[in-house]
Amino acid sequence: MKRSESIANPAPLGLAGFGFTTVLLNIVNIGLVNGGLETSFVMTMGFFFGGLCQLIAGHWAFKLNEIFPATAFTAYGAFWETLAFWWLLDMAGLTGTPSGGGIAAYMILWGIFTFYMWINSFYHNKNLVIVFGTLWVLFFLLGAHFALESTIILRLAGLVGIICGFWAIWTSFSIIFFEHTGTKLPGMETF
């Protein structure tokens, strides 16, 4: 990212918000915890850390004229906001249950968006290639899960999601570490 006297690098915040929220949701998807109260924590984390913090990071990236992180953080912040808002409406009984095909289409569209972001991540660093690479796989697996109603595919998606989320967390840490020490950790090199 370009340096600014008035705006700090927003990438660590956006990646942390994305990463931690993704790990939490996929702990539920993999079956390590049940739905219920744990799902409400995913929803609230989706609204604020996964959603709001990424929207803020995207706004800061736009101010720095960084189109890739601005697009990524704003889009995935909106993803978490829409998902959490749908859960809220569902919990309040204000929506009907969408078809598996409808949710599958939603996930597949996010997979397509993520696939072209993955291609563009090759111009950044190796960690981002892994984050976006695992993320597009995750979205397509979730699409397959909802289309086929397969618990096995959901568990596999959960595993991929946990890897994706932890890689985003590692990347966030790596950026902060580099900015404090000047030392690049593994994966921060570009191609």
CB 154 within 8 A of CB 27: no
C-alpha 11: how far from its chain's center? 13
Q: Do the domain assignments include residue 60?
A: yes
CATH number, domain containing residue 114 = 1.25.40.600
**Residue 1 is assigned to a structural domain of this protein:** no
Q: In this structure, is residue 191 part of a structural domain?
A: no
Domain count, the chain: 1
CA 26 to chain centre: 11
In a domain, 188, yes or no: no
Chain segment 120-152, per-residue pLDDT in tens: 999 999 999 999 999 999 999 999 999 999 999
Inside any domain, residue 3? no
Look at residue 6 and tell me if it is in a domain. no
Pick left, alpha or beta for residue 31 (phi over 0 → left; psi -120 to 50 → alpha; otherwise beta): left
Q: Which residues contact 91 (CB under 8 A, 6 or more apart)?
A: 40, 43
**Token duo for residue 32:** 């390590």
Phi-psi region of 93 (alpha: psi -120 to 50; beta: other; left: phi over 0): left
| Inside any domain, residue 161 | yes
Per-residue pLDDT tens for 24-75?
999 999 999 876 655 788 999 999 999 999 999 999 999 999 999 999 999 9
Evaluate whether residue 55 is within a structural domain.
yes
Give the domain range for residue 45: 11-181
CA atoms of 143 and 84, how far apart (whole Å): 18
Tens-digit pLDDT profile for residues 92-117: 888 877 788 999 999 999 999 999 99
